[in-house]
Amino acid sequence: MTARARTRGVALIGTAVTASLLIASCSSSSSGTSSTAGASVNPACTAYSKYMGHSGKTVTMFASILSPESDSLQKSWAEFSSCTGITIKYEGSNDFESQLGVRVSGGNAPDLAVIPQPGLLAKMVSTGKVAKPPQGVVDNVTNDWNAAWKTYGTVNGTFYAAPMSSNAKSLVWYSPKEFAAAGYTVPTTWNDLMALSAKIAAAGKNGKPWCGGIASGTATGWPATDWLEEVMLRMYGGDVYDQWIANTLKFNDPKVKAAMDTVAGWMKNPAWVNGGFGGVQSIATTTFQDAGQPILKQQCWMLQQASFYEAQFPAGTKVAPDGDVFAFYLPSMGQFGDPVEGGGEFVTAFSNRPEVQAVQTYLSSGEWATSRVKVAPGWVSANNKVDPTAYTDPVDKLSYAQLTDPKATFRFDASDAMPSAVGAGAEWKQMTAWFAENKDTQAVLDAIQAAWPSS
């Protein structure tokens, strides 16, 4: 998930933001000037003049982004909300993927939804309830993002949803301090990574080589899809990966089976997992938010997870090349350069009210992206209007470098790009059963392929 937030998100229920919680203070009227004669106006509010004229209005937003990540999300638009007078009422849910469809079909759609899967976006568009974005959004995405990102927010040739975030998924979290103490070095090839895993397991002390967790409410299973995608991209390259997404390479093809076998030798190896939680089956019941915490307790050594995982470590954790935790690139297998898998989220509107369009346009801008970067370690945007120097967090810098590397083979999260019945449905369910029940690999792949829509 891009998210599989997919972001795929985080663990607690998000709270609503009201104007009284916002950090800036200024008065605004429909003209964007002070509504009280003689009152001082916050100079920062001049940056929001084009969004003025909607004071007292409320815009609802629904997403899978939960606390602590949602805390920084709400801070990112605080000044905008205070200056414009628009209250953004935010709600996050671990059941977002299923609940969004229920709300839309029941006539209770949010004004805006942050959708982490292009497949889910296509499903929502098919309901006829998605509103096309205003020209300001179209212009921002056309001018400020790589053209590929616009295609991810496009369904049947029509653009609907602006990218909101970008995340680098090809990372391995570890403890530099513990690596140094043990004399381990960061592996730079896939074979080196597997050899290090075997070496740690053979040492028989200070935990297992790997920890993992795929539980995430109704999105349970999504981290396991990322492990398969990383291997597919490394074993076969971008062209075959694209064929897989398009279903010209079937999910139960021998190539996919070989990739699953590779994942099994890595993340279903009982000698290698699941440090701090139990055996292989415990991966299915461990939340993705908790999965990496044993790294801090020397119960496991590594976690394969995206850049946004940084937000899950406790306050005070030193995230740095010499710190308590950091991340390194999940190595390639050599034959296809340095593949990078990424994800993202897309702001989708179910209303075209003026205040909704104002918020929608702001969230597609470089100004908002820069604001989010400044308050959200672990959050990255591929919006080219963001000054790279705004990234002060070392993992964000690492992610930005990966996502913008012209030599890298970049591909979007496959399960997010597939039809939602497959990527966010059967694949999540079957990958969970693969871990929880040790379901036969071929049976898992056959079941996922059977879920592919006939048209």
CATH of domain 19-168+343-406: 3.40.190.10
Residues 6 or more apart whose Cβ sits within 8 Å of residue 278: none
State the SS3 of the chain. Answer: CCCCCCCCCCCECCCCCCHHHCCCCCCCCCCCCCCCCCCCCCHHHHHHHHHCCCCCCEEEEEECCCECHHHHHHHHCHHHHHHHCCEEEEEECCCHHHHHHHHHHCCCCCCEEEECCHHHHHHHHCCCCCECCCHHHHHHHHHHCCHHHHHHCEECCEECCEEEEEEECCEEEECHHHHHHHCCCCCCCHHHHHHHHHHHHHHCCCCEEECCCCEECECCCHHHHHHHHHHHHHHHHHHHHHHHHHCCCCCCCHHHHHHHHHHHHHHCCCCCCCCCCCCCCHHHHCECCCCCHHHHHCCEEEEECCHHHHHHCCCCCCECCCCCEEEEECCCCCCCCCEEEEEEEEEEECCCCHHHHHHHHHHCCHHHHHHHHHHCCCCECCCCCCCHHHCCCHHHHHHHHHHHCCCCEEEECHHHHCCHHHHHHHHHHHHHHHHHCCCCHHHHHHHHHHCCCCC
Burial of 407 (0-12, 13-18, 19+ CB in 10 A): exposed
Furthest-apart CA atoms within the chain: distance in Å? 75
Global confidence as pTM: 0.75
Please tell me if the domain spanning 19-168+343-406 has the same topology as the one spanning 171-341+413-450: yes
**Rg from Cα positions in the chain:** 22
What is the reported pLDDT for 5? Answer: 42
CB 325 within 8 A of CB 319: yes
Q: What is the pLDDT of residue 218?
A: 86
CA angle (258 as vertex; 253, 264 as ends), nearest 5? 125
Query: What's the CA gap between 115 and 121, in Å, rounded?
Result: 7
pLDDT tens track, the chain, 455 positions: 544 343 433 333 333 433 333 333 444 333 333 333 333 568 889 999 999 999 999 999 999 988 888 999 999 999 999 999 999 999 999 899 889 999 999 999 999 999 988 889 999 999 999 999 999 999 999 999 877 788 889 999 999 999 998 889 999 999 999 999 999 999 999 999 999 999 999 998 789 999 999 999 989 999 999 999 999 999 999 999 999 999 999 999 999 999 999 999 999 999 999 999 999 999 999 999 999 999 999 999 999 999 889 989 999 999 999 999 999 999 999 989 899 998 889 999 999 999 999 999 999 999 999 999 988 876 888 888 888 888 988 998 898 888 777 778 888 899 988 988 999 899 999 999 999 999 999 999 999 999 999 86
The reported pLDDT for the residue numbered 379 is: 80
| Homologous superfamily assigned to 171-341+413-450 | Periplasmic binding protein-like II (3.40.190.10)
pLDDT given at position 200: 97
Domain boundaries, the chain: 19-168+343-406, 171-341+413-450
* Torsion angle defined by CA atoms of residues 205, 206, 210 and 216, in that order, rounded to the nearest 10 degrees: 140
pLDDT score recorded for residue 41: 63
Q: How many residues does the chain have?
A: 455
Return the HEC string of 375-418.
HCCCCECCCCCCCHHHCCCHHHHHHHHHHHCCCCEEEECHHHHC
State pLDDT tens for residues 51-71.
Answer: 999 999 999 999 998 888 899
pLDDT at 400: 81
d(CA 257, CA 443): 10
Residue 346 near residue 115, CB atoms below 8 Å: yes
